[in-house]
Structure 1
Amino acid sequence: MNMRSPATVMKASRLGAFHQSRLSFMRQLLRRLKDEHWQFQRSVWTVDQQGVGRAVYTATGPQRSYSLVAFAHDLDPAMRSDRVIATAWDATFALFDGIPDADDLDRLEANVPKQEAGRISSGELCMARANRSVRLFDHVVQSLSEGRQPAREQIDEVGYLMRTTAVYGSGKFGAADRESVAQRPELAAPFQAEMLTVYLIRAFTLDLVEHLASVRAPQRAVTLAPELRRRFGIGNSTGLGMAPFLLNHPVLLNNWVSARETALQRVRAVQEPSAEERRVFADYLERARASAGHWHSEHELQHSRVLQLQRDLSRVKRQLDNGVLNQVTPWDVLYRWAESALSLEAQECLVSLLLEPYAHLVDELGEGMHADEQQSFVIDGGISVGRLREILQAHYSWVADIDFYSESSQALFWYVSEEKLEPRIGQRFSEPGQDLEQPLAVARDIRRLQATLAPFPDGQPLAGFLLQHPEHRHSVRRVQLAPAFPYADIQDNLIDQALLPIDLLRCKLSFFGATHFDPRSDRWVRITLYQGAPFPHELMNMPADDWSCPSLDSQEQHRECFVE
């Protein structure tokens, strides 16, 4: 059974249809926390009646502890904004390496609420901020203070009480560099510190809303019912700042996608699934259908995709009813049918669903999703120009399909804003700044490299070529990666007027484990994290990895949510 080719997988439109899976980083984290019996404690809670104050949540594992230090603020609603230019938030956070003492808390309180204007230290791994959901936060506080549970329909429509507008790590604003903690087993997988930060922020958010309800009506207030409580995730608003990551970390991107494609290959090769494996798949399919029924998006493009997904998942159900799983290698049969019959959104949803019954085939692949990118940074100048041409022919033939003579194919340029040091996209032919262009136009730069190589003989050492043309070093470095890392490049023109940057955002966020993507434009998207997951105090007594698609209760099982 062959893996899907990069030519199939690495198109922006398909990457922009990826869904969370068993390999997503949030799910890897919770499996580890449960397997290793991590303990959680809320050691500090000095939040007053206005909801202002400090809290500390400590997670303790076999070797180390990590503490979320949270600061709750009384924010003027007029100042609440998801924009990166905001200067105040409802809550701000830092993930402390260890257990903070009083001096640490004072130092963090003097800096963390300022975010970019403050500085943290190498004793912190992440810094974050979040704002309340205007629609839902007050409704939940009011409901609980009146002794009743909030409306489930409103919870499902929004999905979170707070949404983060940034979770910074890897050395930003003074935080610890990734290299200083990458050898720790619990942080070896990508973005584990960030995922732990968000997981603990979720706990703080639910504690805060229950605290405010209790303050409002001490004698009458109730806490959230556990099943309802778990329906709250953490929201997130993400813009262009995330998009260049996939281009600047090609080896990491390869390792993420390669793990997912290897998992799919293994599952498709299963000759005869067990009855339990068939049951698990059928169960997750029904969950996915219900989840799609609750997926709301105001963006016209995504709204139509969700409607099509609902129809397509019903078609998958009919395939099961017609006995597709009775064939030899049924998962391969089902996938090959989907390739020709379903939308990209549904095809990639099906990929995720196919992995669910197969923890023993899939989960170990998470161990290979990190990357030591320093090892791949050195250029081998000893190879010949002829060898470089061979690699270009084998791995970059797709570049020849792009017409760079048309204005629309070069319409965009990527740059970094001076004010916020955040990636931005400009219009090349109508806006200034292309002299500040970042080297993210991979396809165009590969074409330029090929043109410059043309007069050089095959026997010429590559080092001699680069001595004359150092402007192509970044492209040569990328090309040399291709034989060992075939999924390292997005095979599209990323400066074309038709580019949808949200495709890049969604690809990365799917590996985080995000759900309910709701683009607000072609350049920023809202998502939900950890919706349905057990809370820290529940983790040891509940399955760690049975929450990515909410379970169906008897009422939902009989409710038709879909277009047949």
Structure 2
Amino acid sequence: MTSYPLRDPCEVMQLERLGALHQFRLSFMRSLIRRLMHEQWEIEPSTFQLDDSGYGTVIYRVKATNHVFSFVLFSNYLSDEDRNDRVIASQWDLTMALCIGDLDAQQVEQLRGNVPKQEAGRVDANTIVLSRANRSSRNFEYVVNELAAGRQPCSDILKDVGYLYRTTAVYGSGKFGMADWGKIRSEYPDFARPFAAEMFTCYMLRHFSVEQAEHLAKVRSPKTAVSMNTDVRRYIGIGNATGLGMAPYLIRHPQLISQWITVRETAIARVLSEGQVTAEHLQTLGILANKARQHYLETTVPDESQTQRNHTLVDELAAMQRWLEQHTQITGWDKLTAHAKQHWHIETQELIHSLLMELYPDLVDELEDSMCAEECPDTTPQMPLGDLKQLIEARYAWALDVDFEEPDALYLFWYRSEEKMEPRIGERFSEEGADREMPLLTIARSVRQCYDLLCKDLQQHPNDDVVHFLMREPEMKGIIARVQTMGQECYGDIQANLADRETLPIQLLRCKLSFFGVSKFDPKSKFWVRNTMFQGAPLLTQIGEPFFDDWIFPLAPE
């Protein structure tokens, strides 16, 4: 990638800013849809066996550009009392798998015996993704009944819940015996971008959810049932519930996250450096801003703080439009972003970046193949200790600024629950379990401990290298490897003490979900959030038709 003036990591890697990111052109859902539409993948059901209750087996044959895949769904009865979105659930309305190649009868039976069990089942390296989903209790039956009666679902109802199914987990990258990421990236280029296969699974679930609803409507009332019209069908997305299980990913994969952030920041820098401001661009930006404002007005969530943030976005986007009307002669977008940084909320600043990227696909879209990273943290044993000290001071000043003598700085601890088998947060001074703390999520404190030991060691061994220090302090190997590795990255660790009492884990979730490309954040606590995927995206039936990559900020159909 050509060098551009990128924003300072001290600004970009603040947890508050990462938690204010929005979907953008290079989000994984957007990249996936562009690939499907431009390459014209052929996707057809090879098996569609649903009974009058909507239960059964459906297999879609996916002929991508380079390989053939099979998307398999199993629909089973689930009582309302057994419907649970938590990872501890053992039954679901739908379970599904994305597999390599066409499937014979024996393979289908093998999947039928294991996919519905999810983590308790057994799959092999012929499987790429394993997932499950539950029906929306508010929407599914309503939509089926409306279609059966010959009516389209009411937009006002769909605004509140714009999906028929909600995923509760989407597993990939080698879990439970599936094909690992190295195999996918090297042998199956159709899904060789981060989370492409997982996003495709959600996209196919969205398609099936409408087909199943239409099937049930026709069963219930063959004479009056209608199909869902195109505008409503596009407005139907897929729900997602995301909790603390996603948060550690951003800490465990710092090189990959650094690459994602670098690519996003490069796209922003390209727009600010090379994006010519024309009357057409100003007009398009105004259209996008109006669409975004309406989108957030239509986003209704119970959480008062999120509602207020949405209202702030609506008001400040209007302020942006007024500012542009007064500055029609600007020659670059840097004046707009500088004004935003000075006057508007951090979420508005980052939303403006997302809007600006939409104006210049020629500058942005080619970066979508740069999202991968080879992760190989390692120590540099020959580095002089003085150089390591300077590196910590330069790149981890944020960690050295934390006063770990303050109880609030150590208030939280992260652990893995044996009962729930997922990450949890405990309060150190009122709950048991701190002795099982996950050290990987205490980067700030580990850096501080390493730095203090290093300073003392330098007084006695000023000319030693890292290898000598590690012989004396071997427990520091992990954090030194991280510091040395991330010291070579443009954007390093998230600059936050995640053990602090005021930490909002939901900001970690928001960051990762923005790269997925989700919309309509609906926080249920500071630990988990619901959101919507693929709402407004083109349909499978529209592959081969003229494609307009304009489905960001979907609006309810009239």
Superposition TM-score, scaled by structure 2 size: 0.96
Partner of 2:69, secondary structure, is: strand
Q: Which residue of 2 aligns with 1:290?
A: 294
Question: Would you say the 8 A contact 1:280–1:356 is kept in 2?
Answer: no
2:116 is aligned with 1:107: no
Q: Kindly report which structure 2 residues correspond to 1:191-230, keeping only aligned pairs within 5 A, or say none.
A: 191-230=195-234
Q: Which residue of 2 aligns with 1:142?
A: 145
- Correspondent of 1:364 among 363, 366, 379: 366
Partner of 1:382, secondary structure, is: coil
Name the aligned partner's letter for residue 419 of structure 1.
E
CA deviation after TM superposition for structure 1 residue 275, in Å: 3.5
419-428 vs 509-518, greater mean Cα deviation: 419-428
Q: Which residue of 2 aligns with 1:448?
A: 449
CA distance in 2, matches of 1:413, 1:354: 39
CA deviation after TM superposition for structure 1 residue 544, in Å: 5.4
Q: Which residue of 2 aligns with 1:241?
A: 245
Cα deviations by residue, 1:507-530 (Å, 9 ceiling, x for unpaired): 000000000011100000001000
CA distance in 2, matches of 1:327, 1:276: 13
CA distance in 2, matches of 1:272, 1:486: 27
Name the aligned partner's letter for residue 453 of structure 1.
L
Q: Which residue of 2 aligns with 1:175?
A: 178
Partner of 2:426, secondary structure, is: strand
Question: Would you say the 8 A contact 2:254–2:486 is kept in 1?
Answer: no
Partner of 2:171, secondary structure, is: strand
Question: Would you say the 8 A contact 1:284–1:353 is kept in 2?
Answer: yes
Name the aligned partner's letter for residue 81 of structure 1.
N
Partner of 1:243, secondary structure, is: helix
The change in CA–CA distance for 1:187 and 1:427 in structure 2 (over 3 A counts) is: same
Cα deviations by residue, 1:389-440 (Å, 9 ceiling, x for unpaired): 1211111111232121111110111111213431111111121212211121
Give me the CA root mean square deviation.
Answer: 1.5
22-31 vs 544-553, greater mean Cα deviation: 544-553
Q: Which residue of 2 aligns with 1:397?
A: 397
CA deviation after TM superposition for structure 1 residue 278, in Å: 2.7
- Correspondent of 1:272 among 265, 273, 276: 276
2:60 is aligned with 1:60: no
CA distance in 2, matches of 1:498, 1:533: 37
Q: Which residue of 2 aligns with 1:432?
A: 432
Name the aligned partner's letter for residue 450 of structure 2.
L
Q: Which residue of 1 aligns with 2:346?
A: 344
Partner of 2:209, secondary structure, is: helix
Q: Which residue of 1 aligns with 2:415?
A: 415
Partner of 1:55, secondary structure, is: strand
CA distance in 2, matches of 1:486, 1:391: 13
Q: Kindly report which structure 2 residues correspond to 1:38-187, keeping only aligned pairs within 5 A, or say none.
A: 38-183=41-186, 184-187=188-191
184-193 vs 115-124, greater mean Cα deviation: 184-193
Question: Would you say the 8 A contact 2:158–2:556 is kept in 1?
Answer: no
CA distance in 2, matches of 1:60, 1:513: 24
Cα deviations by residue, 1:104-133 (Å, 9 ceiling, x for unpaired): 111111011111111111110111110111
Uncovered stretches (5+) of structure 2, i.e. residues with no partner: none
Percent same amino acid at aligned positions? 43
CA distance in 2, matches of 1:268, 1:552: 32
CA distance in 1, matches of 2:286, 2:315: 16
Question: Would you say the 8 A contact 2:159–2:300 is kept in 1?
Answer: no
Cα deviations by residue, 1:145-179 (Å, 9 ceiling, x for unpaired): 00111101111211111000000111111211111
Question: Would you say the 8 A contact 1:122–1:176 is kept in 2?
Answer: yes
CA distance in 1, matches of 2:148, 2:392: 65
Question: Would you say the 8 A contact 1:30–1:544 is kept in 2?
Answer: no
Q: Which residue of 2 aligns with 1:508?
A: 512
Question: Would you say the 8 A contact 1:277–1:358 is kept in 2?
Answer: no
Cα deviations by residue, 1:355-377 (Å, 9 ceiling, x for unpaired): 0011111111122111111xx32
- Correspondent of 2:496 among 475, 492, 497: 492
CA distance in 2, matches of 1:508, 1:524: 13
157-166 vs 179-188, greater mean Cα deviation: 179-188
| Aligned pairs, number | 550
Partner of 1:304, secondary structure, is: helix
Cα deviations by residue, 1:248-269 (Å, 9 ceiling, x for unpaired): 0000100111111111111112
Q: Which residue of 1 aligns with 2:484?
A: 480
CA deviation after TM superposition for structure 1 residue 539, in Å: 2.5
CA distance in 2, matches of 1:95, 1:530: 18
Q: Which residue of 2 aligns with 1:353?
A: 355
183-192 vs 149-158, greater mean Cα deviation: 183-192
CA deviation after TM superposition for structure 1 residue 551, in Å: 6.2
2:31 is aligned with 1:28: yes
CA deviation after TM superposition for structure 1 residue 209, in Å: 0.6
Partner of 2:47, secondary structure, is: strand
CA distance in 2, matches of 1:545, 1:104: 37
CA distance in 2, matches of 1:544, 1:215: 35
Question: Would you say the 8 A contact 2:66–2:190 is kept in 1?
Answer: no
Name the aligned partner's letter for residue 409 of structure 2.
S
Question: Would you say the 8 A contact 2:235–2:556 is kept in 1?
Answer: no
- Correspondent of 1:319 among 317, 323, 327: 323
Name the aligned partner's letter for residue 495 of structure 2.
Q
Q: Which residue of 2 aligns with 1:13?
A: 16
Name the aligned partner's letter for residue 359 of structure 1.
P
Question: Would you say the 8 A contact 2:277–2:331 is kept in 1?
Answer: no
Name the aligned partner's letter for residue 14 of structure 1.
R
CA distance in 1, matches of 2:555, 2:503: 36
Partner of 1:230, secondary structure, is: helix
Q: Which residue of 2 aligns with 1:559?
A: none
CA distance in 1, matches of 2:548, 2:27: 13
Question: Would you say the 8 A contact 2:377–2:481 is kept in 1?
Answer: yes
CA deviation after TM superposition for structure 1 residue 470, in Å: 2.0
Superposition TM-score, scaled by structure 1 size: 0.95
Cα deviations by residue, 1:463-497 (Å, 9 ceiling, x for unpaired): 12112212212211111123321312110111111
Partner of 1:87, secondary structure, is: coil
CA deviation after TM superposition for structure 1 residue 325, in Å: 4.0
Partner of 1:163, secondary structure, is: strand
Partner of 1:476, secondary structure, is: helix
CA distance in 1, matches of 2:282, 2:445: 46
The change in CA–CA distance for 1:162 and 1:271 in structure 2 (over 3 A counts) is: closer
CA distance in 2, matches of 1:459, 1:364: 47
